[in-house]
Amino acid sequence: MTLLTELEVRLATALTNALGAPTSAAVTAAADLRFGDYQSNAAMVLAKQQKMNPRALAQQIIDELDLTGLATADIAGPGFINFRILPEAYAARAAGLIRDERLGVPATGTGKTVVVDFSAPNVAKPMHVGHIRSTIIGDSLARIARFLGFKVIADNHIGDWGTQFGMIIYGWNHFLDEEALAADPIPELVRVYRKVNAATQENPTVLDDCKSELVKLQAGDPGNLAIWQKCIEVSKSGLQKIYDRLDVKFDFWHGESFYNERLAGLVEEFLEKGIARESNGAVCIFSDGTKALDADPFKVHKEDGWTDNPAIIRKADGGFLYATTDLATIQYRMDEWRADHIWYVVGVPQQLHFRQLFDAAARWGKVGDFQHIEFGSILGDDRKLMKTRSGDNVGLIEVLEEAVERAARAIAEKNPDLQGEEAAEIAEIVGIGAVKFAELSQNRLTDYVFSWDRMLALQGDTAPYLQYSHVRIRSIFRKLDAPFDVSSATIHLNEAAEIHLVRLLVRFGEVLPTILEDFRPNLLANYVLELARAFHSFFEACPVLKADEPIRSSRLALCDLTSRTLKQGLQLLGIDVPERM
Ligand code: ARG
């Protein structure tokens, strides 16, 4: 049980006694440490309900509170109850964490299956910054959910089917450079795609040719199918290289094409069940009229009032759409994988698509927890959407390469002893970690301005700062003559900086589960920063190796626990730590 939960349990007993009916209330970490470690506004909330004086009720609750061996409590302001944890309770907690592989993190997700749908780039189109955000945020959420005990299925729903393949096949037949494709497939496919795009603008008959290639592909023409297949294969292997570098893993790559043969039956079923109907030759899902207009994804407000905003699931020409595939995907994930939760990590522009999708799925009887975990844009220094010099959207690979290059330069400056392969490996870990942390430390909903200097700074809210903190802690242990046996250490807390460090160490198990309440890895990013800062203050105020026993062992154990917690926290953000830097 976390410290916070323990306080809640004891508070619930006191509340029940004070009010004479089973009552519980939340405890939160204190916003301002001057008032204590934790607080509760229970007295204020309950006094309002019961028309009582909040401070008087707070006093009644405190009189009933048994905090023996744990904390002291007092009343502040209009009726807050503040808890101050006893140093011996912190010491006992720290001693427990030292022996706990899970670092105090409860398994809140046990027994639940969650499908995380993230990254999902489109074949033959470059991965843009939206895919970068999805990849980094999605991977971190998958890691956190796994650590919390969920059964996680990471699924890469790549765009491997659709109208772009008419153009790609045309380009493959007319413009492909086989050698370039073999060397580096993704840029070559993108080049071909762009070239066809330009050709269609110059010569409208090219567009017709592309369309007939698409029709042939959809009709199962063996030649076109073979090109399509080859295209997917080379794209996947190109993507896999990027994912390897990012240390991002998928359990499945069920792209859009995986669901092709389910779509016709799905549309028939929607027609039969009356969830969809024909409109101008197309099959569409309209509002079922059960929701308020402004909460109905199938209604939209235009100048002359509310009008229908249907989702098409079959075009008049018989073609299926993104929404059709996503409906089939939900069915598959629920039937085959028994998904309890499906999390879609996709940018804000697809909000309407997911609102319609979830509404249609519910009407279809698919009951589960579906979440669109949306995010804003990455902006360049000019606060416009980030672009390369040539005006293109910035690709993931370019960002990674530049980050690693810059990290290499910074490391060479700071520590010229590091050379060759070791220096290159460290630059890779630091550069990629910096990009990930810059992403994950932001509130995902806000647009953020991308800044190389800020993300790679050694002093600042950055991955390099955290990685360096970890290196610094481990270097303490390298100075010892004999390996340190943590398990035999006892914990003694006297100094304020020491107590503050433990206060944060104990919070790890409290912070992690809250991240999934509204999918904010930035809470973890902020936590590890705070932990690192607390460590540096501790290290400045409290001698470790020069202290006398048993303080020396106690402090060494805190150092060890801090490095494990930092490393685990970073690992859950998808960030590795180097041995040296
Ligand atoms: N391929 C899509 C895109 O790049 C993202 C797919 C997201 N996942 C989904 N199930 N719709 O915009």
Q: Where are the domains of the chain?
A: 3-85, 164-246, 436-572
Residue 120 alpha carbon to ligand 1 centre in Å: 5
Cα 353 to Cα 349: distance, rounded to the nearest angstrom:
9
Q: Does residue 492 surpass a pLDDT of 60?
A: yes
Cα 504 to Cα 335: distance, rounded to the nearest angstrom:
42
Give the pLDDT of residue 385.
Answer: 65
Average pLDDT, the chain: 93
- Structural tokens at position 32: 């301002």
| Ligand 1 surroundings by CB, under 6 angstroms | 117, 120-122, 157, 159, 326, 329, 344, 346
Give the pLDDT of residue 396.
Answer: 75
Query: Is the CB of residue 497 less than 8 Å from the CB of residue 538?
Result: yes
Position 364: which residue type?
W
Residue 246 alpha carbon to ligand 1 centre in Å: 20
Tens-digit pLDDT profile for residues 186-235: 888 888 998 999 999 999 899 999 999 998 998 899 999 999 999 999 98
Residue 162 alpha carbon to ligand 1 centre in Å: 12
Q: Does residue 146 surpass a pLDDT of 70?
A: yes
Give the pLDDT of residue 163.
Answer: 83
Nearest Cα residue to 431 out of 452, 449, 416, 413 = 452
Which residues, 6+ apart, have CB-to-CB distance to 398 below 8 Å? 388
Position 473: which residue type?
I
Q: What is the pTM of this model?
A: 0.94
Residue 543 Ramachandran class (φ > 0 left, ψ -120 to 50 alpha, else beta): beta
Please check whether the domain covering 3-85 is classified as CATH 3.30.1360.70.
yes
Higher-scoring residue by pLDDT: 508, 456: 508
Which residues, 6+ apart, have CB-to-CB distance to 193 below 8 Å? 124, 125, 164, 167, 168, 171
Which residues, 6+ apart, have CB-to-CB distance to 112 below 8 Å? 150, 151, 340, 341
Query: What is the 3 state secondary structure string of 199-246?
Result: HHHHCHHHHHHHHHHHHHHHCCCHHHHHHHHHHHHHHHHHHHHHHHHH
Tens-digit pLDDT profile for residues 375-434: 998 777 777 766 655 555 667 778 888 899 999 998 899 889 988 999 999 999 999 999
Give the pLDDT of residue 345.
Answer: 98
Least confident of 12-21, 53-62, 283-292, 397-406: 397-406
Residue with tokens 């198990």: 509
Query: Is the CB of residue 490 less than 8 Å from the CB of residue 550?
Result: yes
Choose which residue among 327, 346, 352, 353 to substitute to test ligand 1 binding: the one with the highest number of ligand atoms within 8 A of its C-beta: 346
Residue 263 alpha carbon to ligand 1 centre in Å: 17
Mean of pLDDT values over 319-326 = 95
Query: What is the 3 state secondary structure string of 240-275?
Result: HHHHHHHCCCCCECCCHHHHHHHHHHHHHHHHHCCC
Q: Which CATH class is domain 436-572?
A: mainly alpha
Tens-digit pLDDT profile for residues 238-295: 899 899 999 999 999 999 999 999 999 999 999 999 999 999 999 999 999 999 999 9
